[in-house]
Amino acid sequence: MSELLNRRLALLGERANLSLLEQCLHGIERECLRVTGEARLAQTPHPEELGSALTNEQITTDYSESLLEFITPALADPADTLASLDKIHRFAYSKLGNEYLWSPSMPCPLPAEEDIPIAYYGSSNIGQLKYVYRKGLALRYGKTMQCIAGIHYNFSLPEPLWPLLKQAEGFVGSDRDYQSSAYIALIRNFRRYSWLLMYLFGASPALDAGFLRGRSHQLEQLDADTLYLPYATSLRMSDLGYQSNAQAGLTPCYNDLNSYTDSLRKAVATPYAPYVEIGTHQDGEWVQLNTNILQIENEYYSNIRPKRVTYTGERPIQALMARGIQYVEVRCLDINPFLPMGIDVQEARFLDAFLLYCALNESPLLENNECGNATSNFLKVVKEGRRPGLHLLRQGQLVELKEWAGELLEKIAPLAALLDRSQGSDAHSKALDAQLAKVKDPSLTPSAQVLAAMQEHKESFSQFSMRQSLAHAEFFRSEPLSREDQARFEEAARSSLLQQAELEQNEVGDFDVFVGAYQASILAISN
């Protein structure tokens, strides 16, 4: 174990500091497609009973009108975060009628590209901005890719922890600078080790054959309707799931916050020839917000993002530059189709120990080929992580995945133990043991279990997914919310609809001017 990690563990393990670790915050965003009983994409509008997708803080839509997104508050105990997510699911199911929530990350059999509905947010300027941005995504990447769902895990360390470490380490600079540099260091380590999460939690080894729409690929045919790779963990996170030529040259550097925000600012302000050729309007209608590499910074797809809560009208980059990093958003997690919410508390406890390890361990700058190696290790594991004898590249040397994973888990163990001490439990260590079992026996991984279940039931990907979706629907519908909780959600839905209506009635200024001001806000800080 590194000397720095030892020192930090000792400091946080002191009685006066131990309770700090109970104050980490956890939030979850879970995306899922609405589907019909025939396992087809629901073509209906976002159910009004769920409130306004624009203004309801807990239930919105992501890319497609059919792609729901459930958002929990950030809470200190992940068990409470999951309890909150559970309630959102139960409320949604009370309003979904004869529709279901699709259980895995990869989509159901999809209609023709032009029949996939883009999420609509009403006539206010901000609502239209969100809609045009999605039209731009459709134009740039196709609608099929935008129907993939995932789980985002938001994690922050307690604010008082940073000054404590800063003082102990004699960092010269402000508390905010130390905190941001520590989160960027966490992200660098995450880039080094996130292949492990794909092995442990990847759950998309197969997909519906229609998904690729006749594109060339290296997948194998499992049955007439299913494509797969025998050792894959997460096809969702492979180059099949999301490809962008425009973004290919965009590799934000995680060596400090400034270089990261600079690279994103440039991308939002740099024209990309194929997009310029299309233009922003066709037949007098907006088709994309601009013709740059990125329309907005959120278009940059990465496995983890530094984040800060934004003020009204503020852009993510502006918030980061003004006030530093507040938390990280882990974006590479598949939805586990065996779990009603796609994630459980055991996975959350392990993620906490893993992220704490990334935050507190030595994190040298990513130099020479290290960035490229981290990416290729990750891609190797998503496509063939369960292949016996698979080797990855570590500091220029080949090392067997199994060996490296075992060593990493051993290094994470003291972090799990520290979290357990702070909370008077053994939940984190038990979560770690469950991951160690998967390293020893790949058949315990979710990706292996998906393939095993399909083979056992002689099902296609779609049949398996629908069977799980029906089981989860039964799980949520068999035990409705308490009257108070149901009333609270219904009130939030109603008031969100009123809020949207109010926005639309009081809108001032025309949309073109609004978009111009929005673009200018990023250019203003680029100079």
Residues 6+ apart with CB under 8 A from 266: 526
pLDDT band at 525 (very low <50, low <70, confident <90, very high): low
| Residue pLDDT, tens place only, 348-392 | 999 999 999 999 999 999 987 888 899 999 999 999 999 999 999
Query: What CATH number is associated with residue 245?
Result: 3.30.590.20
- What dihedral do alpha carbons 190, 191, 196, 198 form, nearest 10°? 110
First vs last Cα of the chain: how many Å apart?
43
| Residue pLDDT, tens place only, 397-406 | 999 999 999 9
Beta bridge partners of 285: 282
Q: Which of 149, 75, 110, 56 is nearest to 343 (CA)?
A: 149
pLDDT in the model for residue 243: 59
Q: Which amino acid is at 264?
A: L
Beta bridge partners of 399: 392
Helix (H, G, I), strand (E, B) or coil at 226: strand
Sign of CA pseudo-dihedral 238, 29, 203, 394:
positive
**Cα separation, 18 vs 11, whole angstroms:** 9
313 pLDDT more than 90: no
Q: What is the DSSP string of 426-464?
A: -HHHHHHHHHHHHHH-GGGSHHHHHHHHHHHTT--HHHH
248 pLDDT more than 80: no
Kindly list the distances between the CA atom of residue 268 and the CA atoms of 250, 272, 301, 461, in Å, as whole numbers in the listed order. 11, 10, 13, 38
Backbone angles phi, psi at 150, to 5 degrees: -150, -175
**Mean local confidence (pLDDT), 394-419:** 97
Q: Is 197 exposed, middle or buried (0-12, 13-18, 19+ CB in 10 A)?
A: buried
237 pLDDT more than 60: yes
User: Is the CB of residue 162 less than 8 Å from the CB of residue 185?
Assistant: no
Q: Which amino acid is at 162?
A: W
User: Is the CB of residue 500 less than 8 Å from the CB of residue 126?
Assistant: no
| Residue pLDDT, tens place only, 460-516 | 999 999 999 999 999 999 999 999 999 999 999 999 999 999 999 999 899 999 999
Q: Which of 475, 515, 493 is nearest to 100 (CA)?
A: 475
Kindly list the distances between the CA atom of residue 43 and the CA atoms of 62, 75, 115, in Å, as whole numbers in the listed order. 15, 34, 8
Kindly list the distances between the CA atom of residue 213 and the CA atoms of 111, 121, 486, 489, in Å, as whole numbers in the listed order. 11, 28, 41, 39
Q: Which helix (H) or strand (E) holds 408?
A: helix 401-423
Beta strands in 214-352 (DSSP E): 220-223, 226-228, 281-282, 285-286, 304-307, 327-333
**Mean local confidence (pLDDT), 225-241:** 93
pLDDT band at 21 (very low <50, low <70, confident <90, very high): very high
pLDDT in the model for residue 241: 57
pLDDT in the model for residue 216: 87
| Residue pLDDT, tens place only, 374-384 | 999 999 999 99
394 pLDDT more than 90: yes
Q: Which helix (H) or strand (E) holds 61?
A: strand 59-61
User: What share of the chain has pLDDT > 90, as a percent?
Assistant: 88
| Residue pLDDT, tens place only, 133-188 | 999 999 999 999 999 999 999 999 999 999 999 999 999 999 999 999 999 999 99
**Mean local confidence (pLDDT), 127-134:** 97
pLDDT in the model for residue 477: 97
Q: Provide the residue range defining the domain that includes 457.
A: 3-17+24-524
Q: Which of 238, 153, 155, 216 is nearest to 447 (CA)?
A: 238
**Mean local confidence (pLDDT), 226-250:** 84
DSSP summary character for residue 204: B
242 pLDDT more than 90: no
Sign of CA pseudo-dihedral 391, 149, 254, 185:
negative
Count the domains in the chain.
1
| Residue pLDDT, tens place only, 30-66 | 999 999 999 999 999 999 999 999 999 999 999 999 9
Largest CA distance in the chain: 67
341 pLDDT more than 70: yes
pLDDT in the model for residue 527: 45
- Whole-number mean pLDDT of the chain? 95
Q: Which amino acid is at 476?
A: F
Print burial letters for 261-279: b (CB count within 10 Å at least 16), e (below 16): bbebbebbbeebeebeeee
